[in-house]
A = this chain, B = another copy of it.
Amino acid sequence: MSPRRTGRRPGNPDTREAILAAARTAFAERGFDAASIRVIAAAAGVDPALVHHYFGTKEQLFRATVDIPVDPAQLLPAVLAGDVDGVGERLVRTFLTVWDSPAGAAAVALLRSAVANEWTARLLREFLVTQVLRRVLDQLAVDPAELPLRGSLVATQMIGLAMMRYVIRLEPVASADPEALVTAVAPTVQRYLTGQLDQGSARSRSR
């Protein structure tokens, strides 16, 4: 979708790299919300219009800095459409579809890099929160005070699934049919999104 991928408007490679470097610094230091195209353009020594020309919106620039070729803004509406009780299932299925696809290699590379490098870890945190979790949680009728905890709990399960399937490669999760994993993991994600996070009732029910 981006000029970089289609190659239709390659531009000056040095200018592109300068913008990307300035954007990585700004997103990691200030966070996605506070970083502005204006500040990024100034740091790169270019006009803001050139940033938009090369990269499009701030979201698209951010995705270019983390080198993720999928756009959560395009994938998530289908996850959020339909019954609320199925959001967890659709989120896990979409997640596995992306990571199992050729685009998954970029996601695995980002995860590996975030483990090795605090700068990339900040970018990954910003990506998870602003591009994925916030978009999902904004659509659900849950207590706003609980949103950060719910979002980060979802991240523990999804990133843990990615770690075991694609990085550590623990069997049988590494080779399992995606639908078997959807079936097993979706109730966890659904509970973190909309369920009761206090386990008291769950434990007494299972006795």
A206 cross-chain contacts in B, Cβ below 8 A: 85, 190, 195
1/0 per position for A126-159, CB-CB distance to B under 8 A? 0011000000000000000000110011011111
How many residues on A have C-beta within 8 angstroms of the other chain's C-beta atoms?
Answer: 55
List, in ascending order, chain B residues with CB within 8 A of A160's CB: 155-161, 163
Give A84-116 as 1s and 0s: 1 = Cβ < 8 Å from B's Cβ atoms. Answer: 011001000000000000000000000110111
Whether A170 touches B184, Cβ cut-off 8 Å, given contacts A159-B160, A199-B89, A206-B190, is no
- Report B-chain residues with C-beta under 8 Å of the C-beta of A174: 152
Give this chain's copy count. Answer: 2
* Docked-complex contact B161 and A149, CB < 8 angstroms: no
Per the bound structure, the CA–CA distance linking A185 and B157 in Å amounts to 10
Within 8 A of B (CB), among A166-207: 167-174, 176, 180, 183-188, 190-192, 195, 197-199, 202-203, 206-207
Q: A49 in the interface, Cβ–Cβ < 8 Å?
A: no
Bound together, the chains give a CA A207 to CA B195 distance in angstroms of: 12
For the complex, give the distance between the alpha carbons of A150 and B197 in Å. Answer: 22
A-B contact pairs, 5 of them (CB 8 A): A85-B203, A115-B168, A121-B169, A148-B171, A158-B160
